[in-house]
Amino acid sequence: MEKRTTVSIATGKNRIEAVQRAFEYLGGIGKWVKPGSRVLLKPNIMSTGGTPMITHIDVLKGLYMLCKDAGAKEVMVGENSVCGLEPRVQFDFIGYTDALKRLGARVVFFDEEEWVYRSRPENLCLKDMHLPKSLVEADLWITVPVAKTHVATVSTLGIKNSHGILADEDKARHHRLRPEFGSSLLDKFIDVLAVAKAGLSVMDMFDAMEGQGPGFGDTVEMKLILAGEDVTAVDAVTDYLMGFGNLEPPLPRKAQERGLGIADLNRIDFLGENPNDHRQKFIPAIGGDIPGFDPPGVEVLRGDMCRSGCGMPISYMIDLFKLVLGKDLKELAPITVLCGDNPPPPKDKRFIFVFGDCAIYSTWNYEYRRKPAYIGPWWRRRPAFIDVPGCVPLSLSWIRDFAKLIRGYGPVLSLTSMVEFAETQKYTFAEGVPLEKNPRRWQFDPEFRKKYAKEIEASHQPEYIYKNESCKLSGKGK
């Protein structure tokens, strides 16, 4: 007989009530939370905006109360850095740190802790990784995502939220969606699931996001909380509620194919609300790697680009332009963005934004760089292009660099240089590697890696992971 699983769908006048009801339908959280246990809740806190960009604190409060009633010794709430933005800064910005502490939860920031090395040779892409110590040592960890569409993965739910537990360096590995080089973003997420699957998934679907998720979409009020022990199943049901077909979104389907959960709705039993009573047709996200969606005034010249590498921040950039930067674009048009390997040469030499290591190094001998135009005050002129290094450049660094490029010309964007006061990490894998080399290729091109082994070895890697003796170095030129 085929294996089946159960997902509860609950509503309520607020999230706390809905969370409690969701677990009532499942027979109580005591099935998973034992007296004296240590529980870790992992929400999605990807920005300093509110819901539905991030998990609402009431879901965490509801879970905290349930865990404590079940006799949990300690309830932790943990999060990692997102694109270089430190979780401590994010939490303080939105007031979650103080609120969770007052509740009695322990707040853990994974990037401030030790990492534990884990390997799984059967994995398809990410065969080893570093996990937060507090998560590994917890008796139960619960993934608490918020339901959103996503430009690269159709939707970002529990499986993708699990990816957020990885150290930054591991996050960047195989993130670029280059299956021709054996690097698949989607398989990578399932690899993480294979190593560190959450014991429970609780989906915040009270307010969900449609359109240009995960950061620039629109709010859809659903008033639902979903819960289940099968992360894949909870994701599949959430996808269905968002209007996608059975087994249509790739992540739950792939997870089922690899035996890591059930995505087929015909094998899922629903408790509580009937999903057909709540199903809505969400507007899907459109990725920025697709030409034709560029806003007027911006010309994105794409070379050979990793779809979920530089493709994703390019799409975020386009969304941000469309939402609030239309005035700057109108005044400065045309702005040229170069991205990917060997992009077409720009026609206009002014206001060129060179995005990512591939674009920087492959356009090294282009006209705009050899004979640059100059902009800025006549007594302090600067070249009319700016390099945004990184593989992939971090979100806040590209906002900062773009503001630098158009300072004095674009008023609205120049005000966003305020982000430099948010303490972001700035990293790139490729410091020290000769500029004419393409640093991203060593990740998945074994011949390139062999040829430039010495330079790659000498390149400056982020140190914090490798200082820990319990960690093993992985893939570093070997």
What is the separation of C-alpha 383 from the centre of its chain, rounded to a whole number of angstroms? Answer: 33
- Size, binding site for another protein by CB under 8 A: 50
**What residues pair up with 190 in beta bridges, in sequence order?**
none
Which is nearer to another protein, 136 or 333 (by Cβ)? 333
393 to 4, 12, 47, 356, 403: CA distances (angstroms) = 42, 41, 17, 6, 15
61 touches 95 (CB < 8 A):
no
* Region from 68-76, 216-224, 290-298, 358-366 binding another protein, contact rule CB under 8 A: 216-224
Least distance in angstroms from the C-beta of 155 to another protein:
17
390 touches 424 (CB < 8 A):
no
201: which residues sit within 8 A by CB, 6+ positions away? Answer: 142, 143, 144, 145, 158, 226, 227, 228, 229, 230, 231, 234, 235
- Position among 34, 65, 93, 453 found at the interface with another protein (CB under 8 A): 93
CA separation for the pair 317, 81 (Å, rounded): 20
* Region from 151-159, 289-297, 321-329, 438-446 binding another protein, contact rule CB under 8 A: 321-329
User: How many Cβ atoms from other residues are within 10 Å of residue 472's Cβ?
Assistant: 12
- Site for another protein contains 323 (CB under 8 A): yes
- Position among 245, 276, 378, 454 found at the interface with another protein (CB under 8 A): 378
- Please report how many Cα atoms fall inside a 13 Å half-sphere around the Cα of residue 394, on the Cβ side: 23
- Site for another protein contains 102 (CB under 8 A): yes
Least distance in angstroms from the C-beta of 43 to another protein:
13
Least distance in angstroms from the C-beta of 361 to another protein:
27
CA separation for the pair 301, 340 (Å, rounded): 8
- The residue to which tokens 């999060």 are assigned: 79
Q: Which helix (H) or strand (E) holds 223?
A: strand 218-228
- Site for another protein contains 415 (CB under 8 A): yes
**Amino acid (one-letter) located at 232:** T
- Site for another protein contains 69 (CB under 8 A): no
- Site for another protein contains 316 (CB under 8 A): no
- Site for another protein contains 54 (CB under 8 A): yes
- Position among 8, 51, 55, 81 found at the interface with another protein (CB under 8 A): 51
- Position among 6, 342, 414, 425 found at the interface with another protein (CB under 8 A): 414
- The residue to which tokens 């359109």 are assigned: 211
61 touches 211 (CB < 8 A):
no
Radius of gyration of the chain (CA): 23
- Site for another protein contains 271 (CB under 8 A): no
- Site for another protein contains 365 (CB under 8 A): no
Which is nearer to another protein, 193 or 375 (by Cβ)? 375
Coil vs helix vs strand at 174 = coil
* Region from 97-105, 160-168, 230-238, 465-473 binding another protein, contact rule CB under 8 A: 97-105
Which is nearer to another protein, 63 or 125 (by Cβ)? 63
Binding residues among 420-449 for another protein as defined by CB under 8 A: 421-422
- Site for another protein contains 374 (CB under 8 A): yes
Binding residues among 330-349 for another protein as defined by CB under 8 A: 330-332
- Position among 99, 124, 136, 290 found at the interface with another protein (CB under 8 A): 99
- Position among 326, 372, 462, 477 found at the interface with another protein (CB under 8 A): 326
Q: Which helix (H) or strand (E) holds 326?
A: helix 326-332
- Site for another protein contains 412 (CB under 8 A): yes
User: What token pair was written down for 123?
Assistant: 């994995």
**What residues pair up with 38 in beta bridges, in sequence order?**
74
**DSSP assignment, residue 344?**
P
Which is nearer to another protein, 417 or 461 (by Cβ)? 417
CB-based burial of residue 378 (10 Å sphere; 0-12 exposed, 13-18 middle, 19+ buried)? exposed
Enumerate binding residues for another protein (CB under 8 A): 14, 48-54, 56-58, 89, 92-95, 98-99, 102, 207, 209, 216, 218-219, 221, 323-324, 326-327, 330-332, 350-351, 374-378, 381, 408-409, 411-412, 414-415, 417-418, 421-422
